[in-house]
Structures are given as C-alpha cells and as structure tokens.
Structure 1
C-alpha cells in the first residue's frame, strides 16, 4: 500500500527520442493539484516545444490518477474538454520510494520512471 504523501513533490524524467530529447517535470502538490511540463529539444539542446498541463491528481492504494483541467502552449492557455477521455488517466504504481516513482498506464501499458528532484535542481 502506498501513501498519497509519498508522491507530493517535484519529479523528473528524460527520454531519448532519436532525433529529439524529451523531458518532463511533474509537480504534485499536497492539495491534489499538479503541473506537468513537457519539454522537447533538438540534439543541439535547442528548446523546440514546451507544454504545461494543470489539473488534479490522487492516489488510492496502488492506483495513481490524473485529471487535466487546462494546458498552456506557446503562452496561450486552453481549458481542457472535460468530456474528452484523453484528459483522464489511471496508472498502476509499480514502485514508489523517496527517490523513484515507476508507474504503468492502465489502458496503454506504457511504463514511466521519474526521479525525485527539488525545485533548485530543476534540470530544464
């Protein structure tokens, strides 16, 4: 059984996409809100895109869930379509320690591993 408080904080993951690099910063607050910021860079390190999602999150037993409420892309904010199923996600927690969070999307089976960081260590 995992405790909700274990997820509160700032998490990071990076991925090599071949011709691009991808990075995510996930900030999960104690009051159940989240900000996920996704960065895409070219191989020279130039920022190609930055998208931030805002919403609500929770953890029940080993199920982590998110509900996206809005998104900022190119300095424009968009409200999420609450009728769109793509704004609701559920994940099975595979590992959650003070330093690492691994989870699997219940529908797609995609697995993700994030490392805990502090805001002063923000890699982006």
Structure 2
C-alpha cells in the first residue's frame, strides 16, 4: 500500500515536471525580467497590497494558480529571484536564480505540493529537477514542510509570512510566458538550499 502510494505521488510529480523542457544551452534573459528587476527598489515591490486587502477563502486557491515572481536583495549586495508556478492539481515548480554582487549566478529548480487551509498557505518540498530527472528530497526532513500566514492577496500581488522564520515575502503575478533564465545543473553534488 505504501509503495503504491509512493509511486503514485512520484508519477504525479514527474508528470507535472514533464511539461518543463530543459536544454543544456543557456536561456537568454527575457527583456521583461530585466525591466521588472530594474523597476525594483529597496527590496519592495510597487503597489504592494495592504492588510486591508487580505482575502482568504475558496477563491484564494484559484487566485494563486499560475506564475508568481519574487525578488529580494541579499546581505552581500546580490539578489535572489524566484518564480513559482502553481498548478490546479496541487503541485508546484519553483525556479530560483541567485546573483552574487560579482555577477556569479547560481540556479536551481524544485517541485512539490502546495495548498491553502484557512489563512495558511503551505508547501511540501519533494525534490529537485535535474537533467537526469527528479532527485527526491528526504521526506523526513522537517525543513521540507513550510507554512506561511497569508498577509494579503489580490489578483496582482501575494504577501505571505513564514510562520517559523517570521520572514515576509511579496510576489507579483506574471504572465504565463514569463520565465527565469534557469540552467538545470547536472552536477552530482547536493543542490543548493533556497528558502523563499
């Protein structure tokens, strides 16, 4: 029974990931990404919704479908960007791009499950996307399960606060064709750990 459930979950995740084709050639930086990053200042997205625009209910799940982009400055003068795509079947894919002050870039992609219960948004990290397929994460690692308090949600912006780390994140809804320039790493070393 457990083995059948495991293979069922794995097949759903792999099927969700199969729509994301990767190539070994670098992806050019889309102009919409550059202009969007250029428009950011002081780590704050413009027109961020206030607490008064908080929406929690059945529509919240539908509103979170699609692609959501976040960016924040790092302590060393670089930046971290992430693009999370949530699907109606409860799976997500997140692409991360970390740019150091000296211009070095590191990328990573992960997949898992997501959902909303009451005023809580949650995600369950299940693995990394690599050229060889999916590298499964350890399901017994408590750090792979995250809960966030929904601060605000509109058609364009989503603010949420990590319950354990007390860190606030704000992301912007992006068009379906928006992409981060992410190269899937085929190295055998342990992937980077990003928290968004």
Same fold, TM-score > 0.5, yes or no: yes
Q: Which segments of 5 or more consecutive residues in structure 2 lack a partner in the other structure?
A: 1-55, 182-196
Structure with bigger helix share is 2
Tell whether the 8 Å contact from 1:62 to 1:93 is kept in structure 2 after alignment: yes
Tell whether the 8 Å contact from 2:95 to 2:180 is kept in structure 1 after alignment: no
Partner of 2:79: 21
Structure with bigger strand share is 1
**Moved >6 Å (runs of 4+):** none
Query: How much does 1:49 deviate?
Result: 0.9
Larger radius of gyration: 2
Of residues 80, 96, 100, the one that matches 1:38 is 96
In structure 2, distance between residues paired with 1:23 and 1:45: 14
Map 1:91-110 to 2 at 5 A: 91-110=148-167
Could you state the TM-score of these two structures normalised by the residue count of structure 1? 0.88
Tell whether the 8 Å contact from 1:4 to 1:60 is kept in structure 2 after alignment: no
Could you state the TM-score of these two structures normalised by the residue count of structure 2? 0.58
Equivalent pairs, count: 122
CA RMSD of aligned residues (A): 1.8
Look up the SS of the partner of 2:72 in the other structure. Answer: strand
Q: Which segments of 5 or more consecutive residues in structure 1 lack a partner in the other structure?
A: none
1:68 corresponds to 2:128: no
- Deviation per CA, 1:76-114: give whole Å up to 9, x if none: 642110100011001110001000000011111111000
- Bigger RCO (CA 8 Å, 6+ sep): 2
Query: How much does 1:21 deviate?
Result: 1.6
